[in-house]
């Protein structure tokens, strides 16, 4: 290091490298792919396995055939990969035009950063069909920035055969009935409920549902905006759940159990008759189906809504719900919205329903061939209020805090009061 | 006594190629200093320095220093990952890191792994290296076998151990084996709270033992046989020879190995992430890096995550510099310290 030039070179290099990084971060320009009469739409989503994958490839081919000059470049990714990739891609020059949108707090962030097209005036008809309450997760300040293509309510999936074996004659409709059913299952030597604690969100979903029963619809909606958890119902829900967990309803080793990966996962245990119940979203029949030896949704699989809790302020028919949607990038060509409308049309949604998924367009329920899904969508008709998943609706930060704190609550590491404090702390940094 | 340092520098070479921070810069600048004495023009010397150190410097500055600076800068903002950095929060993120008990818990796990790795791997690797340093049948095969875990990617090892140890109720191969050989009472939820950190230590030891052994063996090759021959003629026992000759002359190798082990333990992430995933924080195996991912990326608090990264960098840097200053100084004198 005798030469005096070295430090100067070093400084120059640091400056250059820093500048390059900064420039990369600032490059928000998006090529809209329009040139003359042809337009190319890039479309990113997570339906990367069959039957979904081939179905959507067919949809793309149909649309291209009907629209001269429009080319759709469909790229599929695994769910978590897609979330991470989208985050950086949206700010880069090669952002997708149409992309998967989970809605809620993440959408709000994207909208505030100016990446998402306001499609309010274009999709009024589609919004009316889906129901504006159901699409609330894809709206920010009254404007629509995306629409769900699949949507469904949450409930408890159960094994009818194991219930019968344990002498349970009717599905539980109240919390004491659920407790009684758990006791009977244990007596019969059957693990009552599987829980994918390793992924933490499956634990969070138990809290969401207890909170949905304890908190009034108004509180629920207000908290989505204020992130204020001071209403006593939030702590009551936590203490209810803690008391429920103390009856040890979950499978041994739930904390290292994953939600959907393989036979040892919580869904896999339900698929392979090792547990009687699992609380989860509308995707369950597909996941369970893929984890059985014959790759079919087993006949023993049934569904009932989350039980009511006496004294709770929540609407007893209210349900947690969620779905996947799509948004258009602000720089996307106009064909993007048109293709989104096509995806939500009755015909395309009906075909999607036949692949074993629940469409967001209720007119397409006629396409459902899976009896279990027909049953769930029938029962969903009596649901007057749906709440989007809290880890989506309340934003990444508070949502993750709810999920991880619920694991700690179930483990007995947190009291109900500390649980609420953890949520308040997370909300303070949001 | 020139031999020990020969052994030392030979052993020190591989880590420098891996680009472990401070060592790589010094290594490159030491080269032309030795060859430039033959009266070449100043211009030529400068040219050589630029050409020889340039690529390494660019990579080092671009991929180590610049990201650290950018991370430190991002750490001053409350940033959700989208758009420009606008919500400046001063030192709030850094203060929050230093106030979070979960961070200290993670740091505690790192320190546990640092200390226990040294205590477990060191003696064990030394004994095996002594054994493998003897001429015997199948020596090469044994060396290769012991080195295999180190060669396999951490992700693959993680998945493998996860399957063996078992997750959830179904358990894994190990529990099934215990049951089948009549040791059912030993069955355990290995990855759960309580045993998790010991399982992690065990897997780390298993994986990195081979690396330590190879380093020690290389060090032992550098120790001249004459010394132990002389000791044998003087009537020293085998263990006495090892204790008084091999071990002291292996000093530089041991110190470099300990340095790499400490740094590796501080940065531990892959194994934890693959085996425990998000459950790491609930089962007592969170590390600083897993905490960073959980509290930064998973929660969408990118500014905070950057602050964690910087704190982690500083902790590692202080430990690395202190170690170099107080432990490695005598081994690296002349190669790292010249010109300062």
Report the pLDDT value the prediction gives residue A142, as an integer from 0 to 100: 86
Nearest partner of B160 among B176, B169, B149, B146, judged by Cα: B149
Report the pLDDT value the prediction gives residue B40, as an integer from 0 to 100: 60
pLDDT-derived band at A2 (thresholds 50, 70, 90) equals very low
Residues B277, A199: C-beta atoms closer than 8 Å: yes
Report the pLDDT value the prediction gives residue B312, as an integer from 0 to 100: 94
Shortest Cα distance from B135 to chain A (angstroms)?
Answer: 45
Residues A115, B61: C-beta atoms closer than 8 Å: no
Nearest chain B residue to A257, by CA? B168
Helices B196-221 and B154-165, axial angle in degrees (round to 10): 130
Tokens standing for residue B74: 């991002």
Report the pLDDT value the prediction gives residue A328, as an integer from 0 to 100: 94
- On average, the pLDDT of chain B sits at 83
Which of chain A's residues have a Cβ under 8 Å away from the Cβ of B279? Answer: 197-198, 200, 255-256, 407
Tokens standing for residue B110: 């790192």
Nearest chain B residue to A114, by CA? B83
The burial of A101, by beta-carbon neighbours within 10 Å (0-12 exposed, 13-18 middle, 19 or more buried), is given as buried
- Pairwise pLDDT comparison (A204 vs B11), residue with the higher score: A204
Nearest CB among B61, B279, B297 relative to A17 is that of B61
Nearest partner of A311 among A248, A241, A240, judged by Cα: A240
Q: Inform me whether the C-beta atom of residue B192 falls under 8 Å from chain A C-beta atoms.
A: yes
Shortest Cα distance from B251 to chain A (angstroms)?
Answer: 29
Shortest Cα distance from B240 to chain A (angstroms)?
Answer: 45
Shortest Cα distance from A263 to chain B (angstroms)?
Answer: 9
Tokens standing for residue A141: 């300040």
CA–CA distance, B32 with B29 (Å, rounded to integer): 6
- What one-character-per-residue DSSP string does A320-375 give? EEEEEEEEEBTTS-THHHHHHHHHTSHHHHHHHHHTT--BSSGGGGGG---HHHHH
Report the pLDDT value the prediction gives residue B34, as an integer from 0 to 100: 46
Residues B62, A13: C-beta atoms closer than 8 Å: yes
Which of chain A's residues have a Cβ under 8 Å away from the Cβ of B59? Answer: none
Which of chain A's residues have a Cβ under 8 Å away from the Cβ of B167? Answer: 198, 253, 256-258, 264
Structural contact between residues A196 and A264, judged by C-beta atoms closer than 8 angstroms: no
CA–CA distance, B42 with B61 (Å, rounded to integer): 25
Report the pLDDT value the prediction gives residue B63, as an integer from 0 to 100: 93
Nearest CB among B170, B283, B299 relative to A263 is that of B170
Which of chain A's residues have a Cβ under 8 Å away from the Cβ of B50? Answer: 9
CA–CA distance, A387 with A400 (Å, rounded to integer): 17
Q: Which residues contact B243 (CB under 8 A, 6 or more apart)?
A: none
Which of chain B's residues have a Cβ under 8 Å away from the Cβ of A429? Answer: 78, 96, 301, 304
| CA A206 vs CA A239, A291, A410: distances in Å | 12, 23, 10
Report the pLDDT value the prediction gives residue B30, as an integer from 0 to 100: 43
- Pairwise pLDDT comparison (A317 vs A50), residue with the higher score: A317
Which of chain A's residues have a Cβ under 8 Å away from the Cβ of B281? Answer: 404
Structural contact between residues A144 and A118, judged by C-beta atoms closer than 8 angstroms: yes
pLDDT-derived band at B189 (thresholds 50, 70, 90) equals confident
pLDDT at B11 over 80: no
Chain segment B278-311, per-residue pLDDT in tens: 888 888 899 999 999 988 888 888 899 999 999 9
Q: Inform me whether the C-beta atom of residue B304 falls under 8 Å from chain A C-beta atoms.
A: yes
The residue among B169, B192, B308 with the most chain A CBs within 10 A of its CB, best to mutate, is: B169
Which of chain B's residues have a Cβ under 8 Å away from the Cβ of A109? Answer: 80-82, 300
Nearest CB among A22, A256, A429 relative to B283 is that of A256
Report the pLDDT value the prediction gives residue A39, as an integer from 0 to 100: 85
Which of chain B's residues have a Cβ under 8 Å away from the Cβ of A413? Answer: 282
Nearest CB among B83, B189, B282 relative to A411 is that of B282
pLDDT at A330 over 80: yes
Q: Inform me whether the C-beta atom of residue B298 falls under 8 Å from chain A C-beta atoms.
A: yes
pLDDT-derived band at A430 (thresholds 50, 70, 90) equals low
pLDDT at B38 over 90: no
Which of chain B's residues have a Cβ under 8 Å away from the Cβ of A251? Answer: 168-169
Q: Inform me whether the C-beta atom of residue B167 falls under 8 Å from chain A C-beta atoms.
A: yes
Shortest Cα distance from B110 to chain A (angstroms)?
Answer: 21
- Pairwise pLDDT comparison (A28 vs A252), residue with the higher score: A252
pLDDT at A174 over 90: yes
Which of chain A's residues have a Cβ under 8 Å away from the Cβ of B193? Answer: 255, 411
| CA A129 vs CA A53, A80, A124, A360, A384: distances in Å | 25, 30, 9, 9, 16
Report the pLDDT value the prediction gives residue B98, as an integer from 0 to 100: 92
Report the pLDDT value the prediction gives residue B334, as an integer from 0 to 100: 60
pLDDT-derived band at B5 (thresholds 50, 70, 90) equals very low
pLDDT-derived band at B136 (thresholds 50, 70, 90) equals confident
pLDDT-derived band at B15 (thresholds 50, 70, 90) equals very low
Residues A5, B66: C-beta atoms closer than 8 Å: no
Chain segment A23-72, per-residue pLDDT in tens: 334 333 444 444 446 888 999 998 887 788 899 999 999 999 988 888 99
Report the pLDDT value the prediction gives residue A271, as an integer from 0 to 100: 92
Mean predicted confidence (pLDDT) in A149-172: 94
Instruction: Tell me which architecture the domain covering A34-153+322-374 has in CATH.
Output: 3-Layer(aba) Sandwich (3.40)
Q: Inform me whether the C-beta atom of residue B102 falls under 8 Å from chain A C-beta atoms.
A: no
pLDDT-derived band at A246 (thresholds 50, 70, 90) equals very high
The burial of A125, by beta-carbon neighbours within 10 Å (0-12 exposed, 13-18 middle, 19 or more buried), is given as exposed
Q: How many Cβ atoms from other residues are within 10 Å of residue B185's Cβ?
A: 8
What ipTM was reported for this prediction? 0.77
Chain segment A91-131, per-residue pLDDT in tens: 888 899 999 998 888 898 889 888 999 999 998 988 888 88
Helix (H, G, I), strand (E, B), or coil: what is residue A118? coil
Which of chain B's residues have a Cβ under 8 Å away from the Cβ of A9? Answer: 50, 57
Residues A256, B65: C-beta atoms closer than 8 Å: no
Number of A:B CB contacts under 8 A?
A: 140
Nearest CB among B66, B276, B282 relative to A18 is that of B66
Report the pLDDT value the prediction gives residue B333, as an integer from 0 to 100: 67
Domains observed in chain B: 3-332 (1.10.3720.10)
CA–CA distance, B80 with B54 (Å, rounded to integer): 36
The residue among A256, A260, A274 with the most chain B CBs within 10 A of its CB, best to mutate, is: A256
Nearest chain A residue to B338, by CA? A1
Residues A3, B167: C-beta atoms closer than 8 Å: no
Residues B168, A426: C-beta atoms closer than 8 Å: no
pLDDT-derived band at A10 (thresholds 50, 70, 90) equals very low
Lowest mean pLDDT among A131-140, A172-181, B109-118: A131-140
Report the pLDDT value the prediction gives residue B88, as an integer from 0 to 100: 86
> For chain A, what's the residue count?
430
Shortest Cα distance from B138 to chain A (angstroms)?
Answer: 40
pLDDT at B2 over 80: no
Nearest CB among B50, B66, B299 relative to A400 is that of B299
pLDDT-derived band at B29 (thresholds 50, 70, 90) equals very low
Nearest CB among A10, A114, A255 relative to B61 is that of A10
pLDDT at A302 over 60: yes
Q: Inform me whether the C-beta atom of residue B299 falls under 8 Å from chain A C-beta atoms.
A: yes
pLDDT at B17 over 90: no
Where exactly does CATH 3.40.190.10 map onto chain A? 34-153+322-374, 155-320+388-428
Nearest CB among A3, A109, A401 relative to B80 is that of A109
Report the pLDDT value the prediction gives residue B37, as an integer from 0 to 100: 53
A-facing residues of B in 65-94 (CB < 8 A) are: 65-67, 69-70, 78, 80-84
pLDDT-derived band at B86 (thresholds 50, 70, 90) equals confident
Predicted structure pTM score: 0.79
CA–CA distance, A351 with A363 (Å, rounded to integer): 12
- On average, the pLDDT of chain A sits at 86
Instruction: Tell me which architecture the domain covering A155-320+388-428 has in CATH.
Output: 3-Layer(aba) Sandwich (3.40)
Mean predicted confidence (pLDDT) in A175-187: 96
Q: Which helix (H) or strand (E) holds A143?
A: strand A143-144
- ∠ CA B316-B322-B324, rounded to 5°: 100
Report the pLDDT value the prediction gives residue B178, as an integer from 0 to 100: 87
């Amino acid at each position: 290091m005798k030469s005096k030039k070295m430090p100067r070179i070093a400084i120059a290099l640091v400056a250059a490298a820093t500048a390059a990084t900064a420039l990369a971060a600032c490059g928000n320009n998006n090529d809209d792919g329009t040139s003359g009469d042809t337009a190319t739409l890039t479309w990113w989503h997570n339906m990367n396995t069959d039957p979904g994958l081939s179905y959507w490839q067919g949809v793309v081919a149909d649309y291209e055939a009907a629209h001269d000059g429009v080319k759709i470049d469909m790229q599929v990714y695994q769910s978590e990969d897609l979330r991470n990739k989208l985050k950086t891609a949206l700010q880069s020059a090669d952002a997708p035009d149409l992309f998967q949108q989970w809605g809620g707090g993440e959408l709000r962030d994207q909208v505030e950063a100016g990446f998402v097209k306001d499609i309010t005036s274009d999709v009024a008809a589609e919004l009316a069909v889906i129901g504006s309450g159901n699409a609330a997760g894809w709206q920010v300040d009254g404007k629509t920035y995306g629409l769900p293509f699949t949507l469904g309510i949450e409930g408890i999936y159960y094994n009818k055969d194991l219930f019968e074996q344990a002498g349970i004659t009717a599905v539980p409709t109240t919390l004491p009935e659920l407790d009684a059913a758990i006791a009977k299952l244990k007596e019969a030597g059957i693990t009552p409920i599987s829980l994918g604690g390793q992924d933490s969100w499956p634990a969070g979903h138990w809290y969401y549902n207890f909170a949905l029963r304890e908190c009034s619809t108004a509180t629920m909606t207000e908290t989505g905006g204020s992130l204020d958890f001071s209403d006593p119902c939030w702590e009551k829900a936590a203490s209810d759940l803690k008391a429920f967990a103390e009856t040890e309803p979950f499978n041994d080793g739930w904390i290292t159990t994953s939600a959907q990966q393989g036979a040892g996962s919580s869904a896999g245990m339900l698929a392979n008759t090792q547990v009687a119940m699992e609380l989860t979203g509308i995707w369950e029949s597909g996941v369970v189906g893929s984890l059985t030896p014959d790759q079919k949704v087993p006949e023993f699989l049934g569904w009932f809504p989350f039980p009511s809790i006496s004294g709770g302020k929540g609407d007893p028919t209210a349900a947690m719900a969620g779905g996947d949607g799509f948004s258009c990038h602000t720089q996307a060509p106009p064909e993007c919205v048109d293709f989104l409308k096509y995806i939500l049309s009755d015909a395309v949604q009906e075909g999607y329903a036949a692949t074993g998924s629940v469409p967001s367009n209720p007119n397409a329920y006629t396409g459902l061939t899976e009896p279990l899904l027909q049953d769930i969508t029938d029962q969903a008709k009596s649901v007057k209020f749906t709440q989007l998943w809290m880890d989506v609706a309340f934003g990444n930060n508070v949502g993750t805090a709810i999920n991880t704190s619920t694991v700690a609550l179930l483990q007995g590491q947190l009291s109900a009061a500390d649980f609420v404090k953890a949520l308040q702390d997370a909300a303070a940094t949001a | 006594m020139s031999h020990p340092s020969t052994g030392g520098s030979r052993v020190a070479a591989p880590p420098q190629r891996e680009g472990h921070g401070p060592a790589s810069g010094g290594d490159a600048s030491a080269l032309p200093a030795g060859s430039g004495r033959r009266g070449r023009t100043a211009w030529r010397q400068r040219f050589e320095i630029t050409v020889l150190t340039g690529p390494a410097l660019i990579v080092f500055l671009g991929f180590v220093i610049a990201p650290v600076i950018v991370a430190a800068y991002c750490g001053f903002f409350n940033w959700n990952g989208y758009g420009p950095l606008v919500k400046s929060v001063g030192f709030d993120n850094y203060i929050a890191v230093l106030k979070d008990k979960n961070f200290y818990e993670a740091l505690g796990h790192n320190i546990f792994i640092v200390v226990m790795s040294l205590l477990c791997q060191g003696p064990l690797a030394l004994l095996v290296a002594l054994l493998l340093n003897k001429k015997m049948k199948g020596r090469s095969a044994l060396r290769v076998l012991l080195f295999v875990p180190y060669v396999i990617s951490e992700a693959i090892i993680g998945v493998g151990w996860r399957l063996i140890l078992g997750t959830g109720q179904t358990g894994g191969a190990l529990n099934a084996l215990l049951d089948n050989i009549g040791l059912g009472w030993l069955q355990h939820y290995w990855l759960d709270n309580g045993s998790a950190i010991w399982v992690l230590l065990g897997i780390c030891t298993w994986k990195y033992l081979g690396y330590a052994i190879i380093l020690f063996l290389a060090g032992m090759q550098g120790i001249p046989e004459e010394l132990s021959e002389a000791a044998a003629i003087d009537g020293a026992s085998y263990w006495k020879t090892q204790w008084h000759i091999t071990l002291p002359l292996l000093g530089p190798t041991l110190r470099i190995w300990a340095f790499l082990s400490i740094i590796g333990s501080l940065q531990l992430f892959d194994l934890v992430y693959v085996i425990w995933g998000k459950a790491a924080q609930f089962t007592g195996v969170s590390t600083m890096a897993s905490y960073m991912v959980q509290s930064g990326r998973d929660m969408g608090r990118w500014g905070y995550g950057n602050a964690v990264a910087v704190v982690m960098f500083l902790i590692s840097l202080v430990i690395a510099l202190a170690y170099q200053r107080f432990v490695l100084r005598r081994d690296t004198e002349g190669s790292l310290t010249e010109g300062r």
